[in-house]
């Protein structure tokens, strides 16, 4: 019992959604994917990392500035209010821990720990191709972008771009007009549309795809946000098409990220006298695949039967046999007899399963009953 004159004050501890800790870290400058991964490895959870003592954080390797930013954020951020803001705006948040996080993006070297999404991501968005290019697009570039986006959408492909003026806006509009899906990756928060004249386009994208950003709500479109944004564009995609780009175009940064991520790079050839084609022509000279039609992209990425592949993945979930066979395949063709010997499975089981996996886009027949692993096959999860 309390002595007379004392006043008891009871403070109720408000339960914090674990997602809020991810959002909190995402607002701390200096803690990117690599440092956050180290914190998670050390403290076991995002909440444990957020609440860790300063000396323990220092031992993990946080420098003075990053540690100071984190400690300040812990003092100033109201995590419950941050979660309420996200929910109020109808924004979905995906993290590394979420099974809905895009597997293709998760496979790159530095996937964003947090994705903010307005709209929706679907399983069939795994069949995505990025189309990017200059903001100062010519009539030729805009028409090439429109035709490519339209034909790819009609083949069941989702179009990814960056909502910028010029080529980006053109391919988003073409995808929508063709009744397809399109994803726009922003260099700002998903609640801050840039450029402003694409606001109506952005709202249309929300209804037929998604606006995606690794940046917290309210983040302004600062210049240094856009180069990192480009790795997300390529990371979500099976390949990247550059339609028009000058020698210093940001679209070339996306192409560089795509090459580093093992994604195919395509380029639309243009006049050697046109400044906007200097970047794309150089890409072709350096090994990018020239694009004369959407079929060039569909065939190179094994996307000629996307609707059937989507249906097959829905009807026939991945099983341990597929995982076992996929382990035996690489970029060099392997004959079914060799696969059978290596796995101990009957030839009939091997050939029938490989045929189904080809329909799913996981493998490709290289001729003579030999198969290769599809270059951009998604991960196969074992059902142990």
**Is the model more confident about 323 or about 140?**
140
pLDDT band at 372 (very low <50, low <70, confident <90, very high): confident
Q: What are phi and psi of 230, to 5 degrees?
A: -65, -25
Q: Structurally, what CATH architecture does the domain formed by 117-300 represent?
A: 3-Layer(aba) Sandwich (3.40)
At 140 the pLDDT is 96
Report the DSSP pairing between strands 209-213 and 114-119: antiparallel
Tell which phi-psi region holds residue 329, choosing left (phi > 0), alpha (psi between -120 and 50) or beta. beta
Look over the chain and give the mean of its residue pLDDT values, rounded to a whole number: 88
Cβ contacts of residue 27 below 8 Å, gap of 6+?
73, 77, 82, 216
Structure tokens at 64: 């003075």
Torsion of CA 25, 34, 119, 92, to 10 degrees: -30
Q: Which CATH class is domain 316-373?
A: mainly alpha
- Cα 323 to Cα 301: distance, rounded to the nearest angstrom: 21
List pLDDT tens digits, range 281-309: 999 999 999 999 999 999 999 887 666 66
By the 8 A CB rule, do 133 and 146 touch? no
Instruction: Please give the average per-residue pLDDT across 43-61, as a whole number.
Output: 92
User: Any idea what the Cα angle at residue 58 is, between residues 215 and 28, rounded to 5°?
Assistant: 15
CA atoms within 13 A on the CB side of 378: 24
Residue 375 has what pLDDT?
Answer: 52
SS3 state at 128: strand
Q: What is the pLDDT of residue 311?
A: 59
**DSSP codes joined into one string, 105-138:** HHTSSS--SEEEEEE---GGGGSEEEEE--SS--
Q: Which of 41, 46, 74, 75 has the alpha carbon at shortest distance from 60?
A: 41
Assigned token pair, 58 = 């220092």
Question: pTM here?
Answer: 0.78
State the pLDDT at residue 367.
Answer: 75
| Per-residue tokens: 365 | 């027949």
Percent of the chain with pLDDT over 70: 90
pLDDT at 371 over 60: yes
pLDDT at residue 45 tops 90: yes
Residue 92's SS3 state is strand
pLDDT at 12: 40
Q: What's the pLDDT tens digit per position in 325-352?
A: 888 887 788 999 999 999 888 888 888 8
> In the chain, what is the greatest distance between 2 CA atoms, to the nearest angstrom?
93
């Amino acid at each position: 019992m309390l002595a007379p004159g004392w006043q008891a004050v009871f403070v109720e501890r408000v339960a914090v959604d674990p997602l809020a800790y991810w959002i909190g870290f995402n607002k701390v400058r200096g803690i990117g994917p690599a440092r956050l991964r180290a914190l998670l490895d050390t403290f076991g959870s995002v909440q444990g990392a957020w609440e860790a003592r300063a000396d323990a954080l220092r031992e993990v390797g946080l420098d003075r500035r990053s540690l100071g930013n984190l400690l300040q954020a812990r003092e100033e951020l109201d995590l419950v209010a941050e979660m309420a803001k996200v929910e109020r705006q109808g924004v979905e948040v995906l993290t590394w821990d979420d099974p809905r996080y895009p597997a293709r993006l998760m496979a790159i070297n530095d996937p964003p720990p947090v994705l903010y999404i307005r709209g929706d991501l679907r399983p069939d968005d795994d069949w995505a191709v990025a189309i990017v290019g200059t903001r100062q697009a010519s009539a030729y570039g805009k028409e090439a972008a429109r035709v490519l986006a339209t034909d790819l959408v009609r083949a069941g492909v989702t179009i990814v771009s960056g909502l910028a003026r010029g080529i980006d806006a053109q391919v988003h509009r073409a995808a929508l007009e063709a009744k397809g899906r399109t994803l726009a990756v922003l260099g700002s928060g998903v609640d801050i549309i840039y450029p402003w004249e694409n606001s109506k386009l952005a709202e249309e994208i929300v209804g037929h795809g998604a606006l995606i950003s690794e940046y917290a709500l309210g983040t302004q479109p600062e210049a240094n946000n856009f180069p990192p944004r480009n790795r997300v564009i390529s990371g979500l995609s099976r390949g990247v098409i550059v339609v028009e780009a000058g020698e210093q175009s940001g679209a070339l940064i996306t192409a560089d990220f795509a090459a580093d991520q093992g994604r195919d790079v395509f380029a639309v050839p243009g006049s050697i006298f046109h400044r906007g084609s200097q970047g794309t022509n150089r890409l072709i000279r350096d090994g990018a695949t020239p694009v004369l039609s959407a079929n060039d992209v569909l065939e190179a990425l094994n996307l000629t039967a996307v609707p059937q592949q989507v249906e097959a993945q829905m009807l026939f979930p991945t099983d341990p046999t597929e995982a076992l066979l996929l382990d035996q395949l690489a970029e060099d063709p392997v004959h079914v007899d060799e696969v059978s010997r290596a796995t101990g499975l009957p030839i009939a089981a091997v050939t029938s399963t490989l045929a189904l996996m080809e329909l799913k886009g996981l493998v490709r027949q290289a001729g003579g009953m030999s198969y290769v692993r599809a270059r951009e096959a998604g991960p196969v999860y074992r059902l142990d």
